[in-house]
Every structure is written in C-alpha cells, then in structure tokens.
Amino acid sequence: MSSPKMELVNGNEAIARGAIAAGCKFYFGYPITPQNEIPEYLSKHLPEVGGTFIQAESEIASVNMLLGAGATGARAMTSSSSPGISLKQEGISYLAGSEIPGVIVNMSRSGPGLGGISPSQGDYFQATRGGGHGDYRTLVLAPFSVQENYDLTALAFDLADKYRNPVVILADALLGQMKEPIILRPVTPQSFDKSWALTGAKGRPPQFLKSLYLNEGDLTRHNWKLFQKYQQMKAEIRFETDLTDDARMVVVAFGSVARIIKTSIRMAREEGMQVGLFRPITLFPYPEEALFRLSQKVDHFFVVELNTGQMVEDVKLSVDKGARVDFYGRPPGSIPTPDDLLEEIRKVY
C-alpha cells in the first residue's frame, strides 16, 4: 500500500473529518467563534455519508439532540466554544448520569463571560471536574496539533461507546484556526455492545435511560458504579514525554502551549539547560502515575498554562512530595511566543 497522502487542513476541519472517519452520523450545533468550520464542514459533508446535520436553536438544544441520538446508539457529536460549552453542561451531566455516549468538542476561547475569541486554557477545571452538576467525570482529550485534532476526535467516538460516557475534546482557538499538513488515516470504528440503546421494544422488554434514582440506596449504587467506570478509564491514559531522560527540569503543559513550549525547550537545550517536556493528552483521567514516576527521577517541574493556574493543581497532586513545582500562567489576550516562554524557563531553571 502506498504511504498515505498528506493534506493541508484547517484545525476545525480536521475535527469534522475525524468525526466522519469514525462513523459519526449526527451533528447538532449552534454557531460560535472560533469553531464555525466544524458545523460548516459537517453541514456539507455529513449528508454525503448518509448523516444528519442540524443547526439547533441553542447550545442547550444541540446537546440534548446529542442525548437523543446517542440514546438510540448512534454516533453523534456537538461542538462549541467556551460560553456555549457552559450552556451544554446540563446536558453533559445528564449524558453522564444516564450513561449515554456522545462527543463534545470545546474549541475554547477566553473568558470569563463573553471574554474574547483568543485562545485560552481557562476551561481546564470545567472539562476535568465534570463541568455540570453532580459527581461525574468526562473523558477529556487534549490535542496539540491538527493531526491530533483528527486522530483524537476519531478516538473519542470509540471511547464514548466503550465507556458509555461523554468524551470532551478540549482544544482552543489556536488549534481550531491553524492549518497544518496531516495524514487523514482511515479509521476502523470499533463496535461495542449497544443492547442498552432505545430502538423500540421489539421482541424484548421495554427499556429506558435515566439518571433519576429515588429509591433508597439506588443513587448511591449508581454513583459508585460511575466511580468504578472512571477508575477503569485509567486504561486510556495518554501522554507524551520529550527529552526527559537527562532532564533536570520538566515542563508540564498541554494543548497549544505544549506545542509552543516544545520550541522553547529546544532553544533552552541549545543554551545548555537540561529541560524536558511532559504533555498530558488525556486531561481526565490525568496521567498522575506517570508524572509521579517521573518525579522520582526529576525533582523540578515547571507548569505553563494559558490561564492563571488550573492544571498546576493536578501536577501538585501527582508529583512526589519533595518535588519543586513552579508555575507560569498567562491570562487570555495574547499568545506567548517561543521566546517569551524561553525567558520564563530561564527564570526558573
């Protein structure tokens, strides 16, 4: 077989194409910058694969349409950006509570409130702590390139089905708007038992999907069951390490910042600083064990985020007690250059 051809693709479009490749047949969304290329692409191309695109009246309606389609066992997706993702939290909580699979893309922008349309990692807490009401979690995947936008979106559908749980893709305006050459590898969607799906009670007893448990003990059991599932999700932990073998200091960053700081780390190496990178790809479950193991070899960590300090809490919870954890946070408004971040590395190294 000839090697796959590379194609120059916009970050949002890569998400849409990853979804189609993974067998997504239903998309429900509402316009918001900076993710509009996702619904625009899917409105044109989902019908070509026999799928359905609906521009809904709101983000709330979109996520509930996702819930309805997901309840029938169909592969479905919604996407938005931060303010719209806030509106979807109710539905995400119900998806988690009713154990209905679904993929939710957050091409996040800056906040709080209307904030702005520049890249931000201010939604880290929202994504990794459930986001809506109740004690639940979503699987959270954080791409750092257009290639990963495609690959991780395709993966998200398998994971959603496997765990019967919502999966969040947490990227940002930078990853949505940039173009890169990528390989649009063919995807073979995994199939999972969907006997739980609502398809009409033909030849079987009627069934339902719900999150309401009023009988004594039922809700406790349900919550423990969900908790067990979140523990099992640790099998999906993904992360990247770069130049950590001889590192005296390890930078911890995810998404677009990890991408930028990779260059800064190369520059620091040229200056003789032994710096490495630890990049979580699953933000939930967090690669805490890998980070702990690393902290037994390296005792200095430098967390860099496009916010004023969110993932740094997970790093502190993960690393060995003796390790030093420095932090550089950049509130939204401007994107740091590799030189900016090199300067920050110099300050703490």
List the one residue out of 168, 158, 185 whose CA is nearest residue 106.
168
| Edge-to-edge order in the sheet of strand 275-280 | 239-242, 275-280, 249-252, 300-305, 324-329
- Interface with other proteins by CB under 8 A: which range of 36-44, 61-69, 117-125, 291-299? 61-69
DSSP letter string over 124-166? Answer: HHHHHT-SSSSS---EEE---SHHHHHHHHHHHHHHHHHHTSE
| Encoded tokens for 26 | 């239903």
Q: What angle do CA 70, 76, 80 make, to 5 degrees?
A: 115
- Interface with other proteins by CB under 8 A: which range of 15-23, 24-32, 150-158, 317-325? 24-32
Cβ proximity to other proteins: between 54 and 277 the closer is 54
- Interface with other proteins by CB under 8 A: which range of 16-24, 145-153, 196-204, 329-337? 196-204
Among 24, 54, 170, 253, binds other proteins (CB under 8 A): 54
List the one residue out of 251, 237, 223 whose CA is nearest residue 283.
237
Among 69, 226, 257, 304, binds other proteins (CB under 8 A): 69
28 binds other proteins (CB under 8 A): yes
Cβ proximity to other proteins: between 11 and 91 the closer is 91
- Interface with other proteins by CB under 8 A: which range of 14-22, 63-71, 110-118, 170-178? 63-71
Among 8, 195, 202, 272, binds other proteins (CB under 8 A): 202
Dist CA 36 CA 38 (whole Å): 5
Among 15, 19, 38, 74, binds other proteins (CB under 8 A): 74
SS (H, E, C) 215-232: CCCHHHHHHHHHHHHHHH
Cβ proximity to other proteins: between 53 and 150 the closer is 53
| Non-local CB neighbours of 296 within 8 Å, separated by 6+ positions | 320
Output the smallest distance, CB 86 to other proteins, in A: 15
- Interface with other proteins by CB under 8 A: which range of 9-17, 51-59, 110-118, 299-307? 51-59
203 binds other proteins (CB under 8 A): yes
Dist CA 121 CA 332 (whole Å): 8
CA distances from 321 to 84, 293, 296, 327 (A): 38, 12, 10, 16
Kindly identify the residues of this chain, within the stretch 236-295, that bind other proteins according to CB under 8 A.
Answer: none
**Number of residues binding to other proteins, judged by CB under 8 A:** 39
The DSSP 8-state label assigned to residue 110 in this structure reads: B
52 binds other proteins (CB under 8 A): yes
- Interface with other proteins by CB under 8 A: which range of 69-77, 238-246, 255-263, 325-333? 69-77
Kindly identify the residues of this chain, within the stretch 211-240, that bind other proteins according to CB under 8 A.
Answer: 211-212
Cβ proximity to other proteins: between 60 and 243 the closer is 60
- φ/ψ of 107, rounded to 5, equals -90, 80
List the one residue out of 112, 109, 70, 106 whose CA is nearest residue 88.
106
Summarize as ranges the residues that interact with other proteins (CB under 8 A): 25-26, 28, 52, 54, 56-58, 60-62, 64-72, 74, 76, 90-91, 94, 98, 198-203, 206-212
